[in-house]
Structure 1
Amino acid sequence: MSRFKPTKHSSILEITGSKSDLLSGKRIVIGMTGSVAVLEIVNLARLLMRNGAEIFVVMSSAARELIQPDLVEWAVGNPVITKLTGQIEHVHLCGQHPDKADLLLIAPSTANTIGKIAQGIDDTPVTTFATTAFGTGIPIAIVPAMHGTMYDNPMVIKNIKQLKDVGVTFIGPRIEEGKAKIAKNDEILETIIGMLSKNDLAKKKVVVTAGPTRIWIDEVRFISNPSTGRMGIEIAKEAASRGAEVTLILGPTNLPINNPTIKVESIETPQDIIEVINKQKKIDLFISAAAIGDYQPEKQKGKIPSRKESLTLKLEPTQKIIAHVKQKFPKARIVGFKAEVKATKSELIEKAQRSLKDYQIDMVVANFLDKPDQGFESKTNEVILIKKNDNITDLPLSSKRVIAEKIIDEFFSFN
């Protein structure tokens, strides 16, 4: 039995789980190698910790020339492994051991390290961890970072393919300024969440709408709302992390998706949403989280003169998206949203129940738009889930990603 005994200190106690529990209970080993992108890993490690993970770090000698192990130890709260000792750290964390890690994340990874792992060469602490993880079956993710010419080297391409063929996940890189830059931390986080999450939506087709729509008055003016699409984006990411094939129908927003497995269909108008839905061959779960315009005028040609004393617009109802989905995909399960202002909780629930009945859907997510830290433009939300079996569940104020996880958990708890 290994004598390697990490000890917790304040870095772990202060920040672990402060953002979410999506990685709660997960132990991740980060293998740091000699790319200048190693400077990004302190922030990455702490992001993983804030989402619940416990982090251990093993460093190559080249990595130690770029960043001091003492700084890394401060960041992650566990002793940093710079050489293998009689405590057989690689066996403790990546072998058949009760305390073994859930994931080996090699970030950043140089072309040299990729080549060594692909050929079974084991001459640094990081490559020894990889060899051990392969033998144990621990998932391995590699985050490349190098010059573009190195990444385009046919031998590097061959080595990456060889590792992918045996189950290694590659995250990134971003091709910018002639370099294969390390993937952004949020993309790495999303990939890791997907690798370590339950795969309960595998083979399911999930379509999510998110963001605002634009109702055009003329060729330069439109009616819209302040939705950023964050709630729907987080639902799409949660579904993707659980193995679903996800299409995100997304209105105008500046928010990044950070998950390349999600197919994004950019739209502007409610009719655009209808057209994207019509292209789908299958929908198992439809989640209507977009803030869709309910009324539209007849669009005027050109630009309405700006000096008119008054302007009257006749608005007609737009086509109901949920009704269209039910007609086209009668077996699809559907989650709707109901947002209100200046309403009591009982009034909000009553309106949500009416939507359930009117549209014959499975669940409604209800929330207020005029409460602090809720609704449009906020990173958090507090919602009420009203289900077709008359069960009502309150979800307290949490990050929208945590709310997304709970929405899907609760939906499948009664379906």
Structure 2
Amino acid sequence: MTGAANLLQVIVCAAGPAGGVGLLVAAAQERGWTVQVVATPAALDFINVDDLERRTGRPVRSRPRKPDEPKPPRADAIVVAPATYNTVNKFAQGIADTYALGLLAEAPGLGIPVVVMPCVNGALASRVPFRRSVEALRAEGVRVLFGPGGFEPGAPGTDGGPAEAYPWHLAVAALGRPAPGPR
């Protein structure tokens, strides 16, 4: 696979709205991004892989490359949406036990801008580990769209509602437009 200018990696996790990630893909493409979808292993059952590959012209990735496979291009930016409780906490702790988390673990150190929009219920959002993780990521320069101006969980026990109701547009707005010119 050859390099791509303005490459946005969209990392999708196994949360209720995940099936609507095509809305994020389309909005990012309209802003000039070349999109690569990366799914956590559990998210593969939530998304339409064929549709996303058709939309992006790229394979949906969920595992590290094999030694004989070409190295994929480095992202210019990353959006994680919907981001689950586990992914937010593991990202904050530097845990890289999936391909998606490996990309996230390196991104701050490489200077790659990251936007994370969680999708957690009120019970999980109220937990101290989650609140600490959000604070830690923000302290590292990660844009976490949680609370006013981002994802706001409903009552405890809710999963964030239907895919169309998830605020995909906020992630795209926080990302902005890609930088002009060659990489």
Report whether the alignment pairs 1:46 with 2:29. no
Report whether the alignment pairs 1:105 with 2:79. yes
What whole-Å deviation, never above 9, does each CA across 1:332-354 have from its counterpart, x for those lacking one?
A: xxxxxxxxxxxxxxxxxxxxxxx
Report whether the alignment pairs 1:175 with 2:158. no
Once residues 87 and 27 of structure 1 are traced to their aligned partners in structure 2, the CA distance between those partners, rounded to angstroms, is 23
**SS in structure 2 at match of 1:186:** helix
- Give the TM-score, by structure 2 length: 0.82
Once residues 175 and 125 of structure 1 are traced to their aligned partners in structure 2, the CA distance between those partners, rounded to angstroms, is 27
What whole-Å deviation, never above 9, does each CA across 1:110-161 have from its counterpart, x for those lacking one?
A: 0101111111111111101112212311111111002111111111001110
Cα 1:88–1:168, aligned 2, differ >3 Å: closer, same or farther?
A: farther
Q: 1:44 corresponds to which letter in structure 2?
A: L
Match runs of 1:290-309 below 5 Å: none
Aligned residues: 171
Once residues 68 and 15 of structure 2 are traced to their aligned partners in structure 1, the CA distance between those partners, rounded to angstroms, is 26
Report whether the alignment pairs 1:64 with 2:38. no
**SS in structure 1 at match of 2:153:** strand
**SS in structure 1 at match of 2:65:** coil
Cα 1:87–1:29, aligned 2, differ >3 Å: closer, same or farther?
A: farther
Report whether the alignment pairs 1:83 with 2:66. no
**For the Cα contact (< 8 Å) 1:144–1:180, is it kept in 2?**
no
Counterpart in the other structure of 1:123:
97
Q: Name the larger-Rg structure.
A: 1
**For the Cα contact (< 8 Å) 1:57–1:81, is it kept in 2?**
yes
Once residues 27 and 139 of structure 1 are traced to their aligned partners in structure 2, the CA distance between those partners, rounded to angstroms, is 12
**SS in structure 2 at match of 1:106:** strand
Could you list the runs of 5+ residues in structure 1 that have no partner in the other structure? 8-24, 94-99, 199-415
CA shift, 1:87, in A, is 5.9
CA shift, 1:186, in A, is 2.3
Match runs of 1:244-255 below 5 Å: none
Larger RCO (alpha carbons 8 Å, 6+ apart): 2
**For the Cα contact (< 8 Å) 2:10–2:37, is it kept in 1?**
yes
Cα 1:110–1:147, aligned 2, differ >3 Å: closer, same or farther?
A: same
Once residues 90 and 153 of structure 2 are traced to their aligned partners in structure 1, the CA distance between those partners, rounded to angstroms, is 23
Q: Percent identity?
A: 22
Structure 1 residue aligned with 2:118, among 144, 164, 167?
144
Once residues 80 and 152 of structure 2 are traced to their aligned partners in structure 1, the CA distance between those partners, rounded to angstroms, is 16
CA shift, 1:102, in A, is 1.4
Report whether the alignment pairs 1:27 with 2:31. no
Once residues 45 and 118 of structure 1 are traced to their aligned partners in structure 2, the CA distance between those partners, rounded to angstroms, is 25
Once residues 123 and 78 of structure 2 are traced to their aligned partners in structure 1, the CA distance between those partners, rounded to angstroms, is 27
Cα 1:119–1:45, aligned 2, differ >3 Å: closer, same or farther?
A: same
Counterpart in the other structure of 2:108:
134
- Give the TM-score, by structure 1 length: 0.38
**SS in structure 1 at match of 2:132:** helix
Once residues 16 and 68 of structure 2 are traced to their aligned partners in structure 1, the CA distance between those partners, rounded to angstroms, is 28
**SS in structure 2 at match of 1:56:** strand
Counterpart in the other structure of 1:221:
none
Cα 1:185–1:88, aligned 2, differ >3 Å: closer, same or farther?
A: farther
Once residues 10 and 63 of structure 2 are traced to their aligned partners in structure 1, the CA distance between those partners, rounded to angstroms, is 14
**For the Cα contact (< 8 Å) 1:6–1:79, is it kept in 2?**
no
CA shift, 1:163, in A, is 0.8
CA shift, 1:6, in A, is 7.4
Q: 1:107 corresponds to which letter in structure 2?
A: A
**For the Cα contact (< 8 Å) 1:26–1:54, is it kept in 2?**
yes
**For the Cα contact (< 8 Å) 1:118–1:162, is it kept in 2?**
yes
**SS in structure 1 at match of 2:25:** helix
CA shift, 1:39, in A, is 1.3
CA shift, 1:180, in A, is 6.9
Q: 1:185 corresponds to which letter in structure 2?
A: W
Counterpart in the other structure of 1:190:
173
Between stretches 25-34 and 79-88, larger displacement belongs to: 79-88
CA shift, 1:197, in A, is 6.3
What whole-Å deviation, never above 9, does each CA across 1:301-355 have from its counterpart, x for those lacking one?
A: xxxxxxxxxxxxxxxxxxxxxxxxxxxxxxxxxxxxxxxxxxxxxxxxxxxxxxx
Q: 2:140 corresponds to which letter in structure 1?
A: V
CA shift, 1:77, in A, is 2.0
RMSD over equivalenced CA pairs, Å:
2.7
What whole-Å deviation, never above 9, does each CA across 1:77-97 have from its counterpart, x for those lacking one?
A: 2111121113698x634xxxx
Cα 1:71–1:6, aligned 2, differ >3 Å: closer, same or farther?
A: farther
